[in-house]
Amino acid sequence: MRIGSLFSGAGLCDYGFSLAGFEHAFFCECNAFCRSVLARHWPGVPVYNDVRALSGRELPRVDVLTGGFPCQDVSCAGLRRGMEPETRSGLWKEYARLIAEMRPRYAVIENVPGLRSKGMDRVLEDLARIGYDAQWQTVSAAAFGAPHIRDRLFIVAYPHRDRSLRKPGLLFAPARDLGALPQPGRLFAWSGAGPAGSGRKAARNLYRGPTICRVDDGRAGQLDGPVRLISRAEFKLYKARIMALGNGITPLQAWYVARCIQMDMGGCSTA
């Protein structure tokens, strides 16, 4: 199964799809640092830099088109300006345009839960206008073992009536139904519901590992070394990496969505 990725960031969502066995046909990302990360981990795959310049008629055909358009203007942590043309979140219109031009079997739209109250109606109306139905679900990172909640909304769209005639019912399967499949990490029993509440205790109830951890920054030999001042260039790189991670998701959240799509297609890979 081939996948095209828009608003790719550093490829955290894409890594989840790769774990499920999807093959990437192209990426599109405006941030130069993130493009360098994509080029390193998916060598030879085209990486475009402007979604507005893409033409669906010229891109490779894919089974799945995925991407998380900018969330700043729909996030509860932002100014909630919505999806007007002058906003960053207004780039959704380019995503909708490419879905209409490419007509993939599935389109996966990832964003923050704030979209449900600030722009969800626009997304669903645009999908309906171009002939796509949709299902959606909020997926918690804590449900897949992360020591934080980090809810993300996933909308999976497909051509109108195509799926309902072939396989009626819910596309999103409870994670327990995926438990028998090969998986890249420990999968927690999860009914599809989010944590009970928004506090730290609610997240810890879902997370079964240690609540204090550190992330390897790529320099394992220096993790326990002496503290030293870093150069301006090192700080710039560190800042770029932190921003890329902050704009991403936990890969297993995307892996779960990818598995649901594979089950809906009628098969699954052994990745």
Report all structural domains of the chain as residue ranges with CATH numbers, in order of start. Answer: 2-198+242-265 (3.40.50.150)
Residue 198's pLDDT is what? Answer: 59
**Average of per-residue pLDDT across 128-136:** 93
Q: How far, in Å, CA of 238 to CA of 217, rounded? A: 9
Percent of the chain with pLDDT over 70: 70
Mean pLDDT is lowest, of 5-14, 140-149, 239-248, for 140-149
Residue 149's pLDDT is what? Answer: 76
- Asked if the model's pLDDT at residue 82 lies above 70, the reply is no
- Asked if the model's pLDDT at residue 24 lies above 90, the reply is yes
**Average of per-residue pLDDT across 253-263:** 90
Sign of CA dihedral 176, 179, 184, 189: positive
**Average of per-residue pLDDT across 216-228:** 55
- Asked if the model's pLDDT at residue 220 lies above 60, the reply is no
pTM, rounded to two decimals: 0.80
Percent of the chain with pLDDT over 90: 40
Whether 34 contacts 54, CB under 8 Å? no
- Whether 71 is a known active-site residue: answer yes
**Average of per-residue pLDDT across 241-265:** 87
| Cβ neighbours of residue 121 closer than 8 Å, sequence gap 6 or more | none
Residue type (1 letter), 231? S
- Asked if the model's pLDDT at residue 211 lies above 60, the reply is no
Which of the following is catalytic: 71, 76, 213, 268?
71
Which pLDDT tens digit goes with each residue over 161-177?
766 566 667 888 765 55
Query: Among candidates 180, 201, 187, 78, which has minimal Cα distance to 141?
Result: 187
Q: Which of 93-97, 190-194, 202-206 has the highest mean predicted lDDT (pLDDT)?
A: 93-97
Mean pLDDT value across the chain:
79
Residue type (1 letter), 14? D
- Asked if the model's pLDDT at residue 247 lies above 50, the reply is yes
Q: Which of 112-121, 201-210, 214-223 has the highest mean predicted lDDT (pLDDT)?
A: 112-121
Residue type (1 letter), 56? G
3-state secondary structure at position 158: strand
What are the backbone angles phi and psi of residue 31, rounded to the nearest 5°? -80, 125
| Cβ neighbours of residue 74 closer than 8 Å, sequence gap 6 or more | 80, 82, 83, 89, 111, 112, 114, 115, 118, 119
Residue 200's pLDDT is what? Answer: 62
**Residue 80: burial class (beta carbons within 10 Å; 0-12, 13-18, 19+):** middle
Confidence grade of residue 212 (pLDDT, cut at 50, 70, 90): very low
